[in-house]
Amino acid sequence: MSEQPLVSVITVTYNAKSYLEQTMQSVFTQTYPHIEYIIIDGASTDGTLDIIKRHEKKIAFWVSEKDNGIYDAMNKGIRAANGELIGIINASDYYEPDTISEVVKAYLQHQDVGIFHGNINMLNMDDSFFKQKTAAKDVDNLCDGFSLFHPTFFVTKTTYNQVGAYDTNFKIAADYDFALRCANANVKFFHIDKVISNFRVGGISSADRKKCLEESKKVLINNHIDEEKADSIYKKWKKHDRKNHIYRTVYESLRTFLPNKLMSRIALKFSVK
């Protein structure tokens, strides 16, 4: 194993010109030097390609073509990747400057680990700080909900070869399915207790939330959770989601006139997602 292994970073994008520059710069300015940057674009028409072409010399591989959804695009990137470690950062999110250095340090110290992950800053779409979230430190209760943050994942190429990439039958929760498949295959997870990435929380409609919960239930069944237990977990998720929706609605109303720091404390106190 090299002391400075190649790390592949994949950005999946579609009509995201408003945020792509920030995402790309967060990769270009990493303190770790050996990075292979890959961009998979879904045939954008909004000026995204102009941004990509402007930085073409810093990109190892990019393509712009129609795909079968976000996880199909991720799989294209994984197939193109040559790194020992592969991270995926979508085109509305961005890394901390020392993210990859921290991941590589953990990787060199824990060679039996297949997935490295960490904590995340949640941002509102206007870039104001929402809250910081700490990932679960183990995966024993992963079937109770996705308590890890996919934008912080760095997965070894060996793990993708062993377990497979993302199941494109799932359009919303394939990352949850992937994590469960890895846990079931006894892939080791390692939690880095630092903020790894910054994630923008968009406005999710009631219909979108419902689809996400329903698909997550299918993910459980796909990973050998019996239907009765999966339905019980699904009902708990729905109850929590209803409560959370109320909190989020109140939060959005209050933040129109209360200071952002105060709103962040409110978000932490009431676990608003």
> How many C-alpha atoms does 91 have within 13 Å on its Cβ side?
25
Looking at residue 132, what is its pLDDT? 87
180 in Cβ contact with 142 (< 8 Å): yes
Looking at residue 75, what is its pLDDT? 98
- Of 95, 223, 106, 215, the C-alpha closest to 164 is 223
Instruction: Burial-class residue 60 by CB neighbours within 10 Å (0-12, 13-18, 19+).
Output: middle
Return the CA Rg of the chain.
18
pLDDT tens digits along 5-22: 999 999 999 999 999 999
Taking domain 7-203, whether its CATH number is 3.90.550.10 is answered by: yes
- Of 102, 97, 89, the C-alpha closest to 151 is 89
Looking at residue 105, what is its pLDDT? 97
Looking at residue 137, what is its pLDDT? 83
Residue 205 reports pLDDT greater than 90: no
pLDDT tens digits along 19-50: 999 999 999 999 999 999 999 999 999 999 99
Percent of the residues in the chain that have a pLDDT greater than 90, as a whole number: 72
Helix axes 227-254, 206-222, angle to 10 degrees: 150
Residue 116 reports pLDDT greater than 70: yes
Lowest mean pLDDT among 52-61, 123-132, 225-234: 123-132
For the entire predicted model, the pTM comes to 0.91
Separation CA 88–CA 55 (nearest Å):
18
H helices, E strands: number in the chain: 9, 9
Span 215-219, average pLDDT = 96
pLDDT tens digits along 169-179: 999 999 999 99
Separation CA 159–CA 140 (nearest Å):
19
pLDDT tens digits along 132-143: 899 988 788 888
Distance of CA 241 to the CA centre of its chain: 20
Span 57-85, average pLDDT = 97
Residue 258 reports pLDDT greater than 80: no
pLDDT band at residue 124 under the 50/70/90 scheme: confident
Residue 255 reports pLDDT greater than 90: no
Number of CB atoms found within 10 A of residue 10's CB: 25
- In the chain, domain spans: 7-203
Residue 270 reports pLDDT greater than 70: no
> 104 vs 201, which has greater pLDDT?
104
Separation CA 184–CA 20 (nearest Å):
35
Separation CA 152–CA 169 (nearest Å):
23
Separation CA 231–CA 117 (nearest Å):
28
